[in-house]
Structure 1
Amino acid sequence: MDGAVTYCGFIAVMGRPNVGKSTLLNSMLNKKVSITSHKPQTTRCQILGVKTVDNRQIVWIDTPGIHITEKKAINRYMNQSARKALIDVNAVVFVVEAMKWTFEDEKVWSLLSKQSVPIIIVVNKIDKIKSKEELLPYLEMLKQKAPQAEIIPISALTHKQLNFLEKSIDEKLPQDHFYFPEDMSSNLSNSFHMAELIRERLMIYLGKEIPYSIAVQIEHCDVKENITHIHALIWVEREAQKHIVIGKDGAMLKQIGTKARLELEKFLDKKVCLKLWVKVKANWTTQSDLLPNLIGYGDDN
């Protein structure tokens, strides 16, 4: 791109928990850089995804969902991370779920409506709507609530109308140099992504409460004879949670480990030997001084 005019901009993806922000990011990048599940609190920190096509580079910032309550340190960290994403961005993509507008959506909008940058309201999950006519009153409500915002209905899961979203974002990119190498898709380390892929399996297989008390750290990663050996620690808050994660005769941990290993092999494109250990770190989600030591919470990420 030497000598050519280039365009580059930062786009923050905001919204309440579990509206499909990470699915949207992965779909726009055509690559899995942010884990997904049907449970809130899946994304816990800012994740940068980078997409470069020809002379245009979009830097996506996937954020944790905004939480109404901040009783625990982990919730405060996630809200702070989401708010930081609004600093010096060129546009904000506000993701909502088709046919739903909650108190949490209202809280996010109250924050975004004060911003001076362009806002694109992305109405996600339209693949669940039987007919377009059903959606029209909802879209009209959004227009009344946010007349200054652009509104684009999409399905992040099926990629429906993502081309309209990308075109809108392209129009908002300023003329600027590329901030990241053209072949880069994420700013985060392999260790971070590996820990997240393991945590994704934990989110999927465990109950409603335990996943939010879990953190994953990669303790060791080494390549030997074309096999990547990964040792990971799974941190929980209580001894009872440790027994649930391990399961009877180790069955649950084995199942999670098997599925996580397959995801890691896709990510690394190599054979993986994965070993998991479960340890207790009492009440880590309530202690601010512990959070920076767990992958995904430090300022470097």
Structure 2
Amino acid sequence: MTDVDFELDNQADALPLLSDVALIPQAPEGFKSGFVGIVGRPNVGKSTLMNELVGQKIAITSPVAQTTRNRLRGILTTPEVQIIFVDTPGIHKPHHQLGEVLVRNARIAIDSVDVLLFVVDGTVEAGGGDRFVVDLLSQSKTPVILGINKADQQSADAESIDHSYIQLAEANGWAVAKFSALTGDGLEALQSLLNERLELGPYYYPPDLVTDQPERFIMAELIREQILLLTREEVPHSVAIAIDRVDEEPEITHILATINVERQSQKGIVIGKGASMLKAIGTAARQQIQKLVMGKVYLELFVRVQPKWRQSRTRLAEFGYRVEE
């Protein structure tokens, strides 16, 4: 257990949530709206891209692949359009029950959106994993845009890399956009392509909303992000966060959360010598959560061993990992 002290950071960055916004207004004449599914292999920058498009951090990012677990919606509203971005788990060959749930949910998303944005890694040529995603998307009737990400990190052989993806797009009649989710270069052109493919429609969400997820979900994700960043490969995806209690007071929000791991050795890594790692995780997570709640936070963390939770349907359901309908 650790008690994490508090500071107030950057109140202006707080995220508008459902409880903070007014009723949905009527959209003006000529207004467009729709859902855009962001799909691709793990670790190609899908979550970073959604954060940049929405303009605020709502999805966690990490150098570790398979960061995204749930279908997280980010909402971008301009005077002309409202785009609801659906960030999906990376499509890959699953190795456990959790992986099967994640990939199944990503596949369901393919047929439940208006436009698909297939994001690829522009620093390497198209490979078998990309072609696997192409085969899935080619079976769908949903319009597809192939987005070549990480343009800012490309080397001298960028032309051959781009060509490997352009060939895949041309074979399926898909538009291509090249950009950097990290720097924002090329995203204006990408947004124009997305706008063109959306139909006239209403506001699905209030204009001030940036995500449809409840605060507790994002709190848990912000804690998990810091574990991924600070422990890296030592505790990759064996972590699930449960927000046990949130007590809101006028001056401070008290949060009690449990970090669930699969093995005793992982518990030791998360806690660290003299609880040093747990304190570092809590301090970093608290700073992010304060931006979410727009106020001071007192964060208390516990660590619990839940053997083989990723293989258990019961445990997966407890931690919020269910197959999407």
The answer to whether the aligner puts 1:281 opposite 2:281 as a matched pair is no
TM-aligned CA deviation for residue 3 of structure 1: 5.7
TM-aligned CA deviation for residue 201 of structure 1: 0.1
Partner of 1:59: 84
Alignment of 1:1-301 (within 5 A): 1=26, 4-68=29-93, 70-100=94-124, 101-130=126-155, 134-147=157-170, 148-295=173-320, 297-298=321-322
Query: Are the equivalent residues in 2 in contact too, given 1:292–1:299 (CA < 8 A)?
Result: no
30-39 or 221-230: bigger deviation? 221-230
Amino acid at match of 2:111: I
Higher relative contact order (CA 8 A, sep 6+): 2
Amino acid at match of 1:83: R
Query: Are the equivalent residues in 1 in contact too, given 2:144–2:175 (CA < 8 A)?
Result: yes
- Hey, what's the Cα distance between the residues in 1 that align with 2:280 and 2:242? 19
Amino acid at match of 2:212: N
- Hey, what's the Cα distance between the residues in 2 that align with 1:209 and 1:111? 32
Q: TM-score when scaled to structure 1?
A: 0.94
- Hey, what's the Cα distance between the residues in 2 that align with 1:3 and 1:243? 56
Amino acid at match of 2:118: F
Query: Are the equivalent residues in 2 in contact too, given 1:4–1:55 (CA < 8 A)?
Result: no
Superimposed CA distance per residue, residues 25-69 of structure 1 (whole angstroms, 9 cap, x where no aligned partner): 00000011110001011100101111111141101000000112x
Query: Are the equivalent residues in 1 in contact too, given 2:43–2:64 (CA < 8 A)?
Result: yes
Amino acid at match of 2:189: F
Q: Structure 1 280/126 Cα, relative in aligned 2: closer, same or farther at 3 Å?
A: same
- Hey, what's the Cα distance between the residues in 1 that align with 2:294 and 2:225? 18
Superimposed CA distance per residue, residues 87-115 of structure 1 (whole angstroms, 9 cap, x where no aligned partner): 23221111111142232212111111222
TM-aligned CA deviation for residue 208 of structure 1: 1.0
- Hey, what's the Cα distance between the residues in 2 that align with 1:255 and 1:158? 28
Q: Structure 1 199/135 Cα, relative in aligned 2: closer, same or farther at 3 Å?
A: same
TM-aligned CA deviation for residue 239 of structure 1: 1.4
Kindly tell me the number of residue pairs found equivalent between the two proteins.
297
TM-aligned CA deviation for residue 82 of structure 1: 0.6
Identity %: 37
- For 1:207, what is the secondary structure of its paired residue? helix
Query: Are the equivalent residues in 1 in contact too, given 2:111–2:140 (CA < 8 A)?
Result: no
* Superposition CA RMSD, Å: 1.6
Query: Are the equivalent residues in 1 in contact too, given 2:101–2:322 (CA < 8 A)?
Result: no
Structure 1 unmatched runs, 5+: none
- Hey, what's the Cα distance between the residues in 1 that align with 2:191 and 2:142? 17
- Hey, what's the Cα distance between the residues in 2 that align with 1:96 and 1:67? 13
TM-aligned CA deviation for residue 300 of structure 1: 7.6
Q: TM-score when scaled to structure 2?
A: 0.87
Query: Are the equivalent residues in 2 in contact too, given 1:25–1:60 (CA < 8 A)?
Result: yes
Structure 2 unmatched runs, 5+: 1-25
- Hey, what's the Cα distance between the residues in 1 that align with 2:38 and 2:101? 17
Q: Structure 1 97/236 Cα, relative in aligned 2: closer, same or farther at 3 Å?
A: same
TM-aligned CA deviation for residue 267 of structure 1: 1.9
Amino acid at match of 1:290: R
Query: Are the equivalent residues in 1 in contact too, given 2:39–2:90 (CA < 8 A)?
Result: yes
- Hey, what's the Cα distance between the residues in 1 that align with 2:192 and 2:134? 23
